[in-house]
A = this chain, B = another copy of it.
């Protein structure tokens, strides 16, 4: 038997931390060595989480500074931004898979603009790989830090990068309309996220100022070779999990929706997790619930010269913890799909 990877999860009392632990529990090579949550230190995971009621042997939650990182192979950062970089910058030795926003933006000034605080560890930014796995397979195996993309950027970039790279669409006037389940707001206790406020209702939020915007613009600009400005409007939908983006793009000259389909087909044909649906089939979040899968499709728009690209993910899995495991697998030379094989849960 091979030696397990010993992992520490910082911030195991949040939804992303918990979903990481859920996946880690059945990953054949992971040993869960430490789980931190400063505000809930001393409690068991079963006390903090209903779904770990049957897992009394999970490590107790501890304070982050109580962890002995000697012998830890990889640290998963599931903390809020700023707190994450501050803590992770003090850790030497283990590889780092960060699920916060702290290592996503290459430019510390842009980070400060959008997040409202100076970057706690700008010196680490150069060594962080933007971990949109399907577009980072060259760099992840040797990376020390993987910065997992935000959930919206994961969905949107998987739908847009192949098109921008091939020049099939104009990088201008990209309009992303997105829908997310409530778990995307985290487990922080706010009136706005109470059940009666959210159930039986829908509304947009973060209009024109959502923090996932600069991340999408950074990656699109990088591929387009010039500055890209996008329109992005997320909406809160009364469901636990799931994210769907409906993207309107301007086609490059003479291009058609069929060309976009062909590009996706070529780019994603062999992918284990990214699936171009048959022509005419609309992506739906229920296609991917609880899994690391991504489904997408292309439709002609009724306005000439445009097309619709629609993509669905589970915001907590491919949009967060699943992709984190996928990145870890590559960083340690494991099969990319290891521990992520479970089929979606429906209904």
Q: Does A266 contact B (CB under 8 A)?
A: no
User: Are A15 and B196 in contact, CB atoms less than 8 angstroms apart?
Assistant: yes
Copies of the chain in the assembly: 4
Q: Does A289 contact B (CB under 8 A)?
A: yes
User: Are A200 and B286 in contact, CB atoms less than 8 angstroms apart?
Assistant: yes
* Distance between A231 CB and nearest chain B CB, rounded to angstroms: 5
As a 0/1 sequence over residues 159 to 202 of chain A, the CB contacts with chain B under 8 angstroms (1 = contact) are 00000000000001111010101110001011101111111111
Q: Does A344 contact B (CB under 8 A)?
A: yes
Q: Does A312 contact B (CB under 8 A)?
A: yes
User: Are B203 and A282 in contact, CB atoms less than 8 angstroms apart?
Assistant: yes
Name the contact of A343 in the complex, choosing from B22, B177, B229, B344 (C-beta under 8 A). B22
Query: Which secondary structure dominates chain A's binding surface?
Result: loop
As a 0/1 sequence over residues 23 to 39 of chain A, the CB contacts with chain B under 8 angstroms (1 = contact) are 00110000000000000
CA distance A299 to B233 in the complex (A): 11
User: Are A347 and B199 in contact, CB atoms less than 8 angstroms apart?
Assistant: yes
Q: Does A113 contact B (CB under 8 A)?
A: no
User: Are A308 and B207 in contact, CB atoms less than 8 angstroms apart?
Assistant: yes
CA distance A199 to B230 in the complex (A): 31
Residues in A51-94 with C-beta less than 8 Å from chain B: 51-55
Residues in A293-326 with C-beta less than 8 Å from chain B: 293, 295, 299-304, 306, 308, 310, 312
**Total number of A residues with any Cβ neighbor in B under 8 Å:** 91
Q: Evaluate whether A230 and B303 lie within 8 angstroms (CB atoms) in the complex, with A194-B189, A246-B177 already known.
A: yes
* Distance between A323 CB and nearest chain B CB, rounded to angstroms: 16
Q: Does A239 contact B (CB under 8 A)?
A: yes
User: Are A286 and B246 in contact, CB atoms less than 8 angstroms apart?
Assistant: no
User: Are A302 and B238 in contact, CB atoms less than 8 angstroms apart?
Assistant: no
* Distance between A195 CB and nearest chain B CB, rounded to angstroms: 4
Looking across the interface, which residue of chain B has its beta carbon closest to that of A300?
A: B208
* Distance between A226 CB and nearest chain B CB, rounded to angstroms: 15
CA distance A241 to B199 in the complex (A): 11
* Distance between A277 CB and nearest chain B CB, rounded to angstroms: 6
User: Are A303 and B18 in contact, CB atoms less than 8 angstroms apart?
Assistant: no
CA distance A307 to B281 in the complex (A): 30
Q: Does A290 contact B (CB under 8 A)?
A: yes
CA distance A229 to B308 in the complex (A): 15
User: Are A26 and B341 in contact, CB atoms less than 8 angstroms apart?
Assistant: yes
Closest 7 A-B residue pairs measured CB to CB? A196-B347, A203-B284, A51-B346, A51-B344, A201-B286, A177-B177, A240-B347
Return 16 A-B CB contacts under 8 Å, by A number.
Answer: A51-B346, A54-B287, A54-B344, A55-B343, A174-B303, A182-B194, A183-B347, A189-B191, A199-B240, A200-B242, A201-B284, A229-B303, A231-B306, A232-B302, A235-B244, A342-B342
Instruction: For the A-B complex with A46-B278, A201-B285, A229-B303 known, give 10 more contacts whose Cβ atoms are closer than 8 Å.
Output: A22-B343, A51-B343, A53-B275, A54-B275, A189-B194, A194-B194, A201-B289, A213-B302, A231-B306, A342-B342
